[in-house]
Structure 1
Amino acid sequence: MRLGAYTACLHDRSLEDTLRLLSDLRLTGAEINAGGFVPAPHLPVDDLLASKDAREDYLGRFDAAGIALTGLNANGNPLNPDPAVGPRHAADLRRAIEVAALLGVKRVVTMSGLPAGEPGGTVANWVVNPWDSQFLDVLDHQWDEVAIPFWRDIQARAADADVKVCIEMHPQNLVFNPATLIRLVERVGATHVGAEMDPSHLFWQGIDPVAAVRHLDGLVFHAAAKDTRINAEHVRIHGVLDDRFTRTPAGTHPVTLGGRNTLNRWPADPSWQFVAVGRGHDTAFWAGFLRALHAVDPDMAVNIEHEDTELDQVEGLRLAAQNLTAAAREAGV
């Protein structure tokens, strides 16, 4: 098992500085962004597609730092009906698969995407609880007419490239839990599409990530290490489907998510929040999580994803690395 980090939180640093930091933290793997919601300053996609020499030079930087390139990340919404977003994110995913194959990287992480709720719709529509038949009509359209044709094409590209596409089960996507991941795999007949096991999005849905790993078994191709703190006092009032987000003022330079879409502000007292490994769940959980992943694939890459707003980028990575390596020792992996 190789412990590393997803480098998007270090995009203000050069690739060399980023790899040096990961090495200082005694991590041995890196997952690099290839497009989607955020830019790809650590991955010169056009150069890598065009030149074998550029690819050899790029991989040489990882070798020099003692860091393995374990995955590319193209998280976005490739099914977004907004013409300024969906087509670009879909193109980024296709290019990420192509670049990964040329680099010898076997894992590309992404999200399943979320289309509009009806033909001609212009806004993505997430159906959470289809108790009314009209919502099953929405899901039928989203799956049958949009997602399945798209993912059959991605499966074919991934199989041709011998690259596994690893879907982060993320709310506001058609695939957000083990059941929807299995549905996609079965409907597409996928051999090269499976799960990136990120427990942070499962915790607040009430899903046990260890049980989810065991349930999905060989469909788990890759993993993230990101924790979630459940704030029980706020859950008692607001539940986990907490919609008290507010717009980020333009003057504070909100994070762009594609087109005119930006990242909103969380509530001041959220029902749950993303935190560094160990700040939501203890070492015993993380040891069990790593043990379950190891049982699926002893060589699986597990990459820290830092989104803890209470800690700066280096502090958060350092704490997560310490806690994750301690869990690995406890797990014996």
Structure 2
Amino acid sequence: MKFGAYTACLHDRSLPETLEILKGMGLTSVEVNSGGFIPAPHCPVDTLLGSESARRDYLQVFADAGMELTALNCNGNPLSPLPNEGLKHAEDLRRTIELAGALGIEHVITMSGLPGTDPTAKYATWVVNPWNGIDMEILDYQWSVAVPFWTEIDELARRHGVRVAIELHPRNLVFNATTFQRLIAETGATNVGVEMDTSHLMWQQMDVPTVIRTLGDRIFFAAAKDVKLFEGVKTKGVLDVDFGHVPADAENKTPVAYGYWCTSWPENPAWRFVAVGIGHDQDYWVEVLTALREVNPDTVINIEHEDAEMSTLDGLGFAAKTLLAAASKVD
């Protein structure tokens, strides 16, 4: 197995400085953003697509640092009915697949996306619990949008020698084992699999090792990210909706589409992202890594840091120590 980090949390630093930081933590793998929800300062997509020499120079930056570029990340909503979100993110994904092939990078990380309720919808709609028959009609429409798109993406990935790993992320059509299995069944995709981001399974109360073993060789990649439950879960459950508006003039907003950004977390949350090892102890991570090794001994696991209570360097360092210590205990 290989261990590294997704560099989005270090976008305020240059790529060489970022690589030096990660190497100093004992990590060897790097994942950079290439489009979708957030900017891509560590991956100049246009330049790299247009120049073979630029691609050689770019890869040499990683080689000189003794690090390996293992994935391009293009998380977004390519199925959104908002043109400035859906059309842009879909094109970002296509260009990322093309670039990954040109760079010789095997994996592209993304999300399945989420359409609206019907062809006239303006906004994406996530059907959380389809107990109402109306919801089944919405889901039928959403799958009718998703299947042709992902059939196209699978063919594109095959053509460029790339494997696309979908993060099982809430507010997406594919967010657990059964929805992923449906996507594969209806598309016949060969080059579409799962990025096993542990965190979103955790807060939904799934058993991560069981999901890993259920999906088997469809686990293409992994993200190490932790979650901790808090007192708020006792009255709100895991579907916490007490998020807040963020004003347009707020500093350090996290974009999700043109004119839209992440909301603010509840003051008394049901759950929150934490550094790897804080929500689940080292023994738990031994179980996760053991399951990942069973399905693929060469799995790449990249840390994704989103703990708002820890600095970036402290959170990454804590996570790296937890993972590397857990890895040492995997038979």
Q: Same fold (TM over 0.5)?
A: yes
CA-CA distance at 1:255 after TM superposition: 1.9
Alignment of 1:1-333 (within 5 A): 1-144=1-144, 146-231=145-230, 233-253=231-251, 254-332=253-331
Count residues in correspondence: 330
Amino acid at match of 1:250: A
In structure 1, the gaps of 5 or more residues are: none
SS of alignment partner, residue 141 of structure 1: helix
Alignment partners' CA distance in 1, 2:52 and 2:249 = 43
Alignment partners' CA distance in 2, 1:84 and 1:171 = 21
Alignment partners' CA distance in 2, 1:88 and 1:327 = 39
Q: Deviations over 1:210-258 (max 9, x none)?
A: 0000000011000000000011x21111111110000112332322211
SS of alignment partner, residue 264 of structure 1: coil
TM-score (norm 1): 0.98
Q: Deviations over 1:30-68 (max 9, x none)?
A: 001010000110001111111111111111110111111
Alignment partners' CA distance in 2, 1:219 and 1:194 = 5
Alignment partners' CA distance in 1, 2:163 and 2:284 = 27
SS of alignment partner, residue 63 of structure 1: helix
CA-CA distance at 1:122 after TM superposition: 0.5
Amino acid at match of 2:101: A
Alignment partners' CA distance in 1, 2:134 and 2:247 = 35
Alignment partners' CA distance in 2, 1:312 and 1:7 = 14
SS of alignment partner, residue 228 of structure 1: strand
CA-CA distance at 1:298 after TM superposition: 1.0
SS of alignment partner, residue 306 of structure 2: coil
Alignment partners' CA distance in 2, 1:226 and 1:39 = 21
SS of alignment partner, residue 170 of structure 1: coil
Alignment partners' CA distance in 2, 1:10 and 1:138 = 39
SS of alignment partner, residue 185 of structure 1: helix
Amino acid at match of 1:55: R
SS of alignment partner, residue 207 of structure 1: coil
Alignment partners' CA distance in 1, 2:102 and 2:216 = 28
Identity %: 51
TM-score (norm 2): 0.98
In structure 2, the gaps of 5 or more residues are: none
SS of alignment partner, residue 72 of structure 1: strand
SS of alignment partner, residue 59 of structure 2: helix
Q: Deviations over 1:104-133 (max 9, x none)?
A: 100000000001111111010000111111
Moved over 4 A (4+): none
Alignment partners' CA distance in 1, 2:84 and 2:165 = 24
SS of alignment partner, residue 78 of structure 1: coil
Amino acid at match of 1:151: W
Alignment partners' CA distance in 2, 1:147 and 1:77 = 11
CA-CA distance at 1:331 after TM superposition: 1.3
CA-CA distance at 1:185 after TM superposition: 1.1
CA-CA distance at 1:299 after TM superposition: 1.1
SS of alignment partner, residue 212 of structure 1: helix
SS of alignment partner, residue 251 of structure 1: coil
